[in-house]
Amino acid sequence: MDENSAMQIESGVSLKPYNTFGLPAVAQTLVRVQGDADVRRVVDHPELGLAPKFILGGGSNIVLTRDMPQVVLKVEVKGWRLVEERRDAYIVEGGAGETWHEFVKWTLDHGYPGLENLALIPGTVGAAPVQNIGAYGVELKDRFESLDAVDLVTGRSVTLGPTLCAFGYRSSVFKHALAGRSLITRVRLRLPKPWAPVLNYLELERKVMETGITRPSPHQVAEWICAIRRAKLPDPREIGNAGSFFKNPVVTPEQCRDIIGRDPEVVHYPMPDGTMKLAAGWMIDACGWKGKSVGQAAVYEKQALVLVNRGGAIGSEVMTLARAIQESVYGRFGIRLEPEPVVV
Ligand SMILES: Cc1cc2nc3c(=O)[nH]c(=O)nc-3n(C[C@H](O)[C@H](O)[C@H](O)COP(=O)(O)OP(=O)(O)OC[C@H]3O[C@@H](n4cnc5c(N)ncnc54)[C@H](O)[C@@H]3O)c2cc1C
C-alpha cells in the first residue's frame, strides 16, 4: 500500500456519536489521524491541505452548533509507554488518541502514580493539555513534561515544553495562538518520586475522615475520586453533557468584596497568587437556574454548572440557554461567565 492510499477520507459523517453532549452535526469531510505521517499527508493533500481544519478528540469539551465545513481531523494516535525512570520521577508517554482515563489506569496499574486525582475525566490524552485539565487539587501542568505536535500549515513536527505551552486555568497556547494550528500527537508526563497523595480538597478530606484511611494508596485515591465524580456529575453515556459549562471566574480581591457586598453568601476561594476564584455553579444556582430548560437543553438538577441534553437537544438550544444564564448572572453579580467548552 502506498502512503496516499493509506489515508481514508470519509464524507458526510454524523458527529453525534463523537460528542458527549450528543448534539447533531455532520462533518463534510473527516480524516482519521494515527500518527504524524497522516497529518503531513493531509497538509500535503492538493485539496485538504489548504482547507480549514478542526481537531477532534473525544468530543467531551465541545458544543456543536452547526454542520462542519472544515476538515475534521479525528485524532486516533495510539500507544503508551514508560519513557524513562529518573532518580526523582517516572516519565510516561501517551498517544493523543488514547482515552485519558484508560491512560491513568495504565499508569496506576504499572506503579507510576501521580495522575490519580485526574481519574475519570472524559476525553483523550491529546486534549488534556489544550485546556490544562484539572480536578481535585491537581492540574495537568503539575505533571507535564513535554508534548509532540504537528503544525497544520507547514506539516513540521515540534516538541514543546511547559513554558511554550503557556498553561493557565483551563487554558494553554492551544486555546489561543496555536488554536486549530497544532495537532498534538503525543504527551509526556513527569510523575514525581516518591509519590505523595494530594488530599487537600474538602471532599477528599471527608473521605479520609469517613474511612479512617490516613495514608491511602494511589489506587485508593483514584477510587475515591471516581466515587466522588460519579455521585456529582452526569455520566455522558446516560445523559449528554460537556462537564462544567462555565469556568469559575477569577477576580481581584476588590472585585470579590464588591460581589460579596451584593450577596454575602457568594462562595469564593483565595488563590495562591492573591486573586479570588468564585464558584460559578453557586452563582447560577442563586439565580434560580437549576432544572430550567430551553427546548431539550437544561441545567442539571444536581449541579447548576452542568448543562445537559435531555434528549434530542440541538446546539442552538444549548447556546440560547447558556446566554440567558450569562445575562442573569451578570445582572445579579456583575460577572460575565465564560463558557469552558469550545463552541463550534
Ligand atoms: C462529565 C464530564 C466531566 C468533565 N470533568 C472535567 C474536569 O474535571 N476537569 C477538566 O479539566 N475537564 C473536564 N471535562 C472536560 C473534558 O473532559 C476535557 O476538557 C477533555 O480534556 C476534553 O478531551 P476531548 O478529547 O474530549 O477533547 P475534544 O472535546 O474533542 O476537544 C476539545 C478541544 O481540544 C482540541 N483538541 C482535541 N484534541 C486535540 C489534539 N490532539 N491536538 C490539538 N487540539 C486538540 C479540540 O480542537 C477542541 O478545541 C469534563 C467533561 C465531561 C463530559
**How far apart are the C-alpha atoms of 242 and 262, rounded to whole Å?**
30
Q: Which residues of 269-281 are buried (b: 16+ CB within 10 A; e: fewer)?
A: eeeeeebbbbbbb
pLDDT in tens, 120-153: 999 999 999 999 999 999 999 999 999 999 999 9
CA distances from 224 to 107, 123, 197, 218, 255 (A): 17, 20, 12, 10, 35
Q: How far apart are CA 103 and CA 133, in angstroms?
A: 14
Mean pLDDT of the chain: 95
Q: Read off the pLDDT of each residue in 329-335 and give the average, rounded to a whole number.
A: 94
Spacing, Cα 58 to ligand 1 middle (Å): 7
287 lines ligand 1 (CB under 6 A): no
- pTM for the full model? 0.95
Dihedral, CA of residue 331, residue 295, residue 15 and residue 177, to nearest 10: -10
Residues 188 and 91: beta-carbon distance below 8 Å: yes
Report whether residue 127 contacts ligand 1, using a CB cutoff of 6 Å.
yes
Collect all residues with Cβ–Cβ distance below 8 Å to 321 and sequence separation of at least 6. 292, 293, 294, 297, 298, 299, 307
Closest ligand 1 atom to residue 118 Cα is: 8
Q: Find out whether the beta carbon of 39 lies less than 6 Å from any atom of ligand 1.
A: no
Q: Please give the C-alpha separations between residue 108 and each of 22, 90, 115, 186, 260, in angstroms, as whole numbers.
A: 31, 12, 8, 19, 42
> Given the CA of residue 21, which atom of ligand 1 is nearest to it?
53
User: Which grid coordinates are listed for 314?
Assistant: 440541538
Distance CA 134, CA 213 (A): 24
Query: Is residue 240 within 8 Å of residue 21, measured between CB atoms?
Result: yes
Which range (11-15, 198-202, 220-224) has the least confidence? Answer: 198-202
Report d(CA 276, CA 161) in Å as an integer: 28
- Distance CA(241)–CA(236), nearest Å, equals 6
Percent of the chain clearing pLDDT 90 (strictly above): 94
Which residue's entry shows cell 455520566? 235
Which residue among 32, 115, 130, 185 is best mutated to probe the pocket of ligand 1, counting the most ligand atoms within 8 A of its Cβ?
130
Chain segment 243-288, per-residue pLDDT in tens = 999 999 999 999 999 999 989 999 998 988 999 999 999 999 999 9
Say if CB 289 and CB 305 are below 8 A apart: no
**CA–CA separation, 302 and 237 (whole Å):** 17
Judged by DSSP in three states, 291 sits in coil
